[in-house]
């Protein structure tokens, strides 16, 4: 459990070497660059370059989306475990030089996509035009409304079956003064009638108005040829367009072979933008530039040595001042490092904090296993993650840590499942009874959590109390580390005495006087040990309580300026201690509740699978119910165990000593998605 010592780094070099130095630092990825605000330096504005980089990246991403949609990649489920492709600095530079060609490829893919969309729109337009012309297909004359110079003719249709007399009546009803009008019906369908209306030119507006109110729609303008010929011409164009769509599809699929080039381009542009943003943070004059930042102590020494050797640079490494906003870098062993992300989700340690990751690791895995608490589920998790760790040794650190976390959680789950005798619920007993007609006894090493709830609940409270006391010890350790030895004494000893003094009274509410008849030797040992400790504490609990209360009242308000404040602070601390610890300890009942939920649901699934009385039907039904039921139970309770284990750390444990508020270390590095730099000496 450690925070690495972070040093402040300041580098001055000729302005001509600025780009090379930033590129070197990015490839190392071990230094965070901070903004420089010196009076005699000026920042550099790269907003235009960043905007152009973003535009190019958007072009590449859109082209990649087109290729992924046209030619999806078939990846195995284990693909997410694969690391990014490693490139040397020379290989990265060589591929970066091809960015113009990569952008040209992306633009050609997008051009093909646009052409395909335009071609589809043209096909749709032609099909709609043909559908509109279809009612006029038998007409052997050009279809177009117009005038002869004295007589207007209006060609169109209404979406109903209509007769000549009905159309004339509509016109007459709207404009009774018009007497020079005629109608010729061409086709009458069930839901459409095509016709032409003839009238004098001066009456055309009124006739058109009457027909529109009737639902009249003008026929498509087909003046150059007959409708039949026009339909044929359109169909030929549709065939040509569909053939072109096929060619475009093949060209896009062929371009998918260069998908990796687009991915590299995205990474290269991302790295370029990070360099531009880092460059904006530096200060510069006409001849030199100034760069400041932070790095771990070991990395800072390496940066100084290599920068001064490779460039005309002067590097100063010093300890940060107290008022500096120093980032946090965590470094833990293989058992605790998988939980660094859990700490980070809450808050990184502040300047006065210790790294809590290592101190919570044992309890985190322990509590996770108690909540999931099925040895069968734990075995599946441990075997799956163990196989990944064994056969996928090249995983990147973040992914490897995630897999390791679930491996340790799986091992803990196997342990607690065996303690409770839960192997896919009561699957061994059910299978032996229902399919082999043999009865086997319980498989627990300690006890059955479903039936022996009180003793399991006591164990949960004991572990919870140990967890809380460990947090109090971490508070004392933090105080000593920060030079507050009296605070360490007054914030730990009174708490231990008070809580241990009241604990026997609390446990009397749940304690059983006799050992259950079906207890195992291990269960008997636990029961006798707890009883012995409880009986030893009970006679002296009053004295422990009194001593603890006196110390709390006397010391809790010590930071107050007035006597009344000191006394009031002491009594308020007593109230907070009783209410806070009571609520905290009771929170650990969730260890039993979630463990019971897993076991009971598993038993229900086994029972549902064996409901049929017919042996053949029972086998056929049991297998899918067993697989689906336990898969759902595992998924639901895996989420529950993860959430509630985190809660016990964040709310109960961290509240005893941890403040947080630290800022994550954000080094200048290539934040790439598909490629990474090889680690070179």
Residues 261 and 184 occupy one common structural domain:
no
In a domain? residue 107? no
485 CB neighbour count, 10 Å cutoff: 11
pLDDT at 604: 95
**DSSP character at residue 653:** I
**DSSP character at residue 202:** G
In a domain? residue 394? yes
Q: What is the pLDDT of residues 269-285, one digit of tens each?
A: 999 999 999 999 999 98
In a domain? residue 384? yes
Cβ-contact 64, 263 below 8 angstroms: yes
E strand or H helix that includes residue 402: helix 397-420
pLDDT at 681: 45
* Structural domain boundaries, residue 91: 2-99+255-330
pTM: 0.85
Beta-carbon contacts of 374 under 8 Å, excluding residues fewer than 6 positions away, are 413, 417, 422, 423, 424, 425, 598, 599, 602, 634
Give the span between the Cα atoms of 72 and 164, in whole angstroms: 58
Return the closest-CA partner of residue 352 out of 495, 479, 220, 219.
479
* Range picked from 70-79, 128-137, 474-483, 511-520 for highest mean pLDDT: 474-483
Question: Which of 283, 312, 330 is the endpoint of a domain?
Answer: 330
Cβ-contact 291, 304 below 8 angstroms: no
Give the span between the Cα atoms of 286 and 328, in whole angstroms: 34
pLDDT at 224: 66
Q: What is the pLDDT of residues 181-228, one digit of tens each?
A: 999 888 887 788 988 899 999 999 999 999 999 999 888 777 667 788
Residue 650 has pLDDT above 50, yes or no: yes
Q: What is the pLDDT of residues 632-647, one digit of tens each?
A: 999 999 999 999 999 9
131 CB neighbour count, 10 Å cutoff: 11
Residue 662 has pLDDT above 90, yes or no: yes
Return the closest-CA partner of residue 27 out of 70, 67, 87.
87
Report the chain's mean pLDDT, rounded to a whole number.
91
In a domain? residue 428? yes
How many distinct structural domains can be found in the chain? Answer: 3
Residues 74 and 182 occupy one common structural domain:
no
In a domain? residue 115? no
Residue 1 has pLDDT above 70, yes or no: no
Residues 431 and 354 occupy one common structural domain:
yes
Q: What is the pLDDT of residues 541-590, one digit of tens each?
A: 899 989 998 998 888 888 788 878 888 888 888 888 888 888 999 999 99
Q: What is the pLDDT of residues 10-36, one digit of tens each?
A: 999 999 999 999 999 999 999 999 998
Q: What is the pLDDT of residues 489-524, one digit of tens each?
A: 998 999 999 999 999 888 888 887 788 777 888 888
Cβ-contact 143, 133 below 8 angstroms: yes
Percentage of the chain exceeding pLDDT 70: 99
**DSSP character at residue 649:** I
Mean pLDDT of 390-401: 91
Give the span between the Cα atoms of 27 and 672, in whole angstroms: 12
| CA 346 and chain centroid, separation | 16
Residues 187 and 291 occupy one common structural domain:
no
Q: What is the pLDDT of residues 472-495, one digit of tens each?
A: 999 999 999 999 999 899 989 999
In a domain? residue 113? no
**DSSP character at residue 82:** S
E strand or H helix that includes residue 463: helix 453-481
pLDDT at 322: 86
Residue 258 has pLDDT above 60, yes or no: yes
Give the span between the Cα atoms of 84 and 269, in whole angstroms: 16
Residues 298 and 161 occupy one common structural domain:
no
């Amino acid at each position: 459990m450690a925070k690495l010592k972070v040093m402040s780094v300041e580098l001055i070099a000729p302005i001509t070497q600025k780009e090379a130095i930033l590129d070197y630092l990015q490839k190392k990825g071990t230094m965070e660059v901070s903004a420089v605000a010196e009076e005699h330096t000026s920042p550099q504005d790269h907003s235009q370059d960043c905007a152009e980089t973003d535009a190019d990246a958007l072009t590449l991403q859109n082209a990649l989306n087109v290729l992924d949609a046209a030619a999806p990649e078939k990846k195995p489920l284990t693909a997410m475990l694969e690391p990014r492709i490693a490139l040397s600095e020379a290989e990265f530079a060589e591929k970066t030089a091809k960015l113009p060609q990569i952008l040209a490829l992306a633009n050609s893919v997008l051009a093909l996509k646009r052409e395909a969309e335009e071609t589809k729109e043209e096909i749709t337009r032609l099909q709609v035009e043909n559908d509109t012309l279809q009612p006029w297909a038998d007409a052997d004359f050009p279809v177009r409304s117009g005038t002869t110079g004295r007589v207007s003719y209006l060609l169109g249709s209404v979406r109903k079956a209509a007769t000549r007399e009905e159309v004339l009546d509509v016109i007459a009803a709207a404009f009774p003064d018009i007497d020079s009008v005629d109608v010729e019906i061409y086709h009458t369908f069930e839901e459409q009638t095509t016709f032409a209306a003839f009238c004098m030119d001066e009456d055309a507006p009124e006739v058109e108005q009457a027909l529109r109110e009737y639902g009249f729609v003008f026929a498509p303008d087909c003046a150059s040829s007959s409708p039949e010929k026009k339909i044929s011409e359109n169909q030929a164009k549709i065939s040509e367009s569909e053939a072109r769509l096929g060619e475009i599809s093949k060209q896009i699929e062929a371009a998918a072979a260069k998908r990796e080039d687009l991915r590299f381009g995205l990474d290269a542009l991302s790295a370029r933008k990070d360099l531009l943003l880092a460059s904006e943070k530096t200060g510069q004059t006409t001849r030199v530039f100034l760069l400041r930042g932070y790095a771990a102590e070991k990395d800072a020494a390496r940066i100084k040595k290599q920068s001064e050797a490779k460039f005309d640079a002067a590097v100063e490494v010093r300890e940060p001042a107290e008022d500096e906003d120093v980032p946090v870098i965590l470094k833990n062993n293989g058992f605790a490092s998988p939980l660094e992300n859990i700490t980070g989700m809450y808050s990184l340690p502040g300047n006065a904090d210790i790294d809590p990751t290592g101190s919570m690791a044992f309890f985190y895995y322990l509590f996770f296993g108690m909540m999931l608490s099925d040895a069968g589920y734990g075995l599946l998790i441990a075997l799956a993650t163990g196989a990944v760790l064994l056969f996928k040794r090249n995983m990147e650190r973040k992914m490897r840590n995630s897999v390791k976390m679930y491996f340790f959680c799986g091992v803990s789950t196997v342990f607690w499942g065996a303690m409770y005798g839960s192997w896919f619920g009561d699957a061994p007993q059910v299978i032996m009874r229902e399919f082999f007609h043999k009865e086997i006894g319980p498989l627990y090493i300690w006890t059955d959590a479903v039936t022996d709830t009180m003793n399991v609940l006591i164990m949960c409270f004991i572990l919870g109390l140990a967890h809380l006391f460990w947090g109090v010890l971490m508070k004392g350790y933090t105080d000593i580390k920060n030079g507050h030895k009296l605070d360490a004494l007054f914030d730990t000893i009174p708490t231990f005495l008070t809580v241990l003094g009241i604990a026997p009274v609390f446990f009397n509410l749940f304690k059983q006087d006799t050992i259950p008849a079906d207890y195992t030797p291990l269960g008997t040992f636990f029961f006798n040990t707890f009883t012995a400790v409880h009986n030893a504490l009970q006679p002296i609990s009053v004295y422990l309580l009194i001593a603890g209360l006196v110390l709390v009242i006397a010391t809790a308000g010590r930071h107050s300026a007035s006597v009344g404040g000191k006394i009031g602070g002491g009594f308020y601390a007593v109230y907070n201690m009783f209410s806070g610890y009571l609520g905290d300890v009771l929170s650990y009942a969730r260890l039993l509740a979630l463990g019971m939920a897993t076991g009971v649901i598993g038993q229900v699934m086994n029972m549902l699978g064996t409901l049929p009385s017919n042996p053949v039907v029972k086998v056929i039904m049991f297998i899918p119910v067993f697989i689906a039921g336990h898969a759902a139970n595992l998924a639901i309770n895996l989420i529950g165990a993860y959430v509630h284990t985190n809660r016990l750390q964040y709310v109960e444990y961290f509240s005893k000593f941890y403040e947080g508020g630290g800022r994550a270390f954000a080094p200048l590095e290539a934040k790439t998605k598909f490629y990474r730099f090889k680690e070179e000496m």
